[in-house]
């Protein structure tokens, strides 16, 4: 069987990571940890999320086990969001890792179900997550940039 889907999603994840980094670059450095209001998430928080979750998604794909400790993840994300260079380095590293992991999934394994806290998901669904999650957060960062007048 062809690995067309896996290759497409791996390439899409790598492009989404690059696009996320480009979007962050549109936001002035002094506003990258700024919240537009209330509980709105700052751009660096979104990048930190993607950096961490690409790594945990690679683990999930490899092991078929959801092992994320949500409280520890929250602490790790908050700390990472304070260090832009580290967040971007981890985004690049974990995006490359998850892309490699996605490419390695045999097509016959795509229907395997993995138990998640919110219900079962197939590997086919899981391997799409890095791409769509980063694309979603790219849009949020671009919205912040638009609020700041940086998209003219």
CATH number, position 18: 1.20.120
Q: Does a structural domain hold residue 16? A: yes
Provide DSSP, the chain: ---HHHHHHHHHHHHHHHHHHHHHHHS-GGGTT--SSTTPPPHHHHHHHHHHHHHHHHHHHHHS-----HHHHHHHHHHHTT-HHHHHHHHHHHHHHHHHHHHTS-GGGTT-EE--TTS-EEHHHHHHHHHHHHHHHHHHHHHHHHHTT---
Q: Is residue 105 part of a domain?
A: yes
Residue 152 domain-assigned (yes or no): no
Q: Is residue 98 part of a domain?
A: yes
Instruction: Give residue-wise pLDDT tens across range 31-83.
Output: 999 998 999 999 999 999 999 999 999 999 999 999 989 999 999 999 999 99
Q: Domain range spanning residue 94?
A: 4-26+41-147
**Predicted TM-score of the model (pTM):** 0.96
Instruction: Tell me the pLDDT band of 2, cut-offs 50, 70 and 90.
Output: confident
Per-residue pLDDT at 101 exceeds 80: yes
Judge whether 68 lies within some domain: yes
More confident residue, 130 or 2: 130
Mean local confidence (pLDDT), 6-10: 98
């Amino acid at each position: 069987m062809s690995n067309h889907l896996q290759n497409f999603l791996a390439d899409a994840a790598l492009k989404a990571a690059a696009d996320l980094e480009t979007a962050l670059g549109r936001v002035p450095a002094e506003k990258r940890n700024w919240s537009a209001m209330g509980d709105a998430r700052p751009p660096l928080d979104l990048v930190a999320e993607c950096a961490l979750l690409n790594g945990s998604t690679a683990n999930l794909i490899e092991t078929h086990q959801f092992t994320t400790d949500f409280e520890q993840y929250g602490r790790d994300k908050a700390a990472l969001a304070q260090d832009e260079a580290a967040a971007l380095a981890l985004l690049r590293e974990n995006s490359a890792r998850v892309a490699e992991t996605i490419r390695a999934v045999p097509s016959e394994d795509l229907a395997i179900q993995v138990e998640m806290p919110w219900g079962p998901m197939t590997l086919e669904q899981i391997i799409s997550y890095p791409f769509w999650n980063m694309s979603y957060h790219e849009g949020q960062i671009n919205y912040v940039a638009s609020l700041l007048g940086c998209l003219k």
